Chains A and B, each alone.
Chain A
Amino acid sequence: MEQEKTMSGEEGLRLIERMIFVAKQEQRVDGVGWIWWGWALFAASIFTLVNLRFNWVSTYFFWNALGVVALVYFVARYLQYFFFGAGKTVRTYTCELIRKLNLGFFISLFFIMIAMNGILSPMAGFPILVNLYAFWILIYGTSMNFRPFIAGAFVAWGLGIAGLFAKTFEGVMLTHAIAVLCGYIIPGYMANTAFKKLNREVAAYSV
């Protein structure tokens, strides 16, 4: 871009449009985190469901294992953030909101998990977790203006309510697995596809 290059009015408007389009990319997510987190929860639900039939290990073994792995991962991520920073060269208001939302979500998640190891029955605890997932997905989807997450949130809420009325723990695990599939995994893959498409468009839009 040359110094003090003159522009026509149309060129000015096109430049503004292009730069706003480029900046918009920063407010998109690649969905990879959702996919990994979704598959981890889905696997824990399904392995627990199968384990209830075959009694390989204790009932909550897979959930406890996931809880430990998740706790170590998130502590490591926050330590990395505090000591080395986010490593991003641009900050948006949406990304700031999402970061705080994620922090609130994981604190609430561990709060419920602690309650489930004490006073809260897992029969009620897992539908409450699904309710928390739905809330998280709804805010996330709204802030990103990504409808599959918003739709996934309402489906997850429906499954969370169904889980509350399930007669067996197998039923709770099944509704949990389907909620994760509809709320995290499918919208995650759709977000990933949309992100890749946007990247291609931005590349084609280069100054």
Chain B
Amino acid sequence: MFKDLDPILHSQLRLAVVSLLVSVKEAEFTYLKEKTNSTAGNLSVQINKLKEAGYIDVAKRFKDNYPQTTCRITPAGIRAFEQYVKDLHSYLNIDGRANGNGKK
């Protein structure tokens, strides 16, 4: 049904992470975990997938002897997110027309 939607973004947690990052300059892992209400393990896996796709940059450093992971969206990530939203809108319009609710 959504075969043309970006499969990297069409996942609940990854989309939540990218939606948060698109609104801020950078965010720490703990912030993303808290706001997406996810587990550390799952979030870590999804962040790696976004990083491999080139949608986010991940910086790892130590702060007060604790590891600190900071994420920020890349220009490619912003473009992909904008395209995803555009595609989503176009799909919803097609669905709406099918239901007789679409804008003409």
B23 and A19 contacting across the interface, CB-CB below 8 Å: yes
Instruction: Tell me the bound Cα distance from A20 to B73 in angstroms.
Output: 14
A89 and B12 contacting across the interface, CB-CB below 8 Å: no
Of A10-18, A59-67, A71-79, A183-191, the segment with at least 4 beta carbons within 8 Å of chain B is A10-18
Closest to B92 in A: A9
B30 and A26 contacting across the interface, CB-CB below 8 Å: no
Closest to B19 in A: A19
Instruction: Tell me the bound Cα distance from A7 to B35 in angstroms.
Output: 19
B interface bracket (residues with beta carbon within 8 Å of A): 20 to 34
Min C-beta distance of B32 to chain A, whole Å: 9
A-B contact count (CB 8 A): 92
A23 and B20 contacting across the interface, CB-CB below 8 Å: yes
Q: Does B27 contact A (CB under 8 A)?
A: yes
B13 and A92 contacting across the interface, CB-CB below 8 Å: no
Closest to B23 in A: A23
Tell me whether A12 and B88 are in contact in the complex, defined as CB-CB below 8 angstroms, given that A1-B42, A20-B19, A207-B35 are known contacts: yes
Most buried by B among A1, A7, A13, A26: A1
B92 and A207 contacting across the interface, CB-CB below 8 Å: no
Residues of B within 8 A of A5 (CB): 11-13
Residues of A within 8 A of B16 (CB): 1, 15, 19, 207
Out of B11, B25, B36, which one reaches A207, CB within 8 Å? B36
B28 and A89 contacting across the interface, CB-CB below 8 Å: yes
Closest to A20 in B: B23
Residues of A within 8 A of B37 (CB): 1, 206-207
Pick the 3 closest A-B CB pairs, nearest first: A23-B23, A19-B19, A89-B31
A interface residues with partner B (beta carbon < 8 Å): 1-7, 9-13, 15-16, 18-20, 22-24, 26, 85, 89-93, 96, 206-207
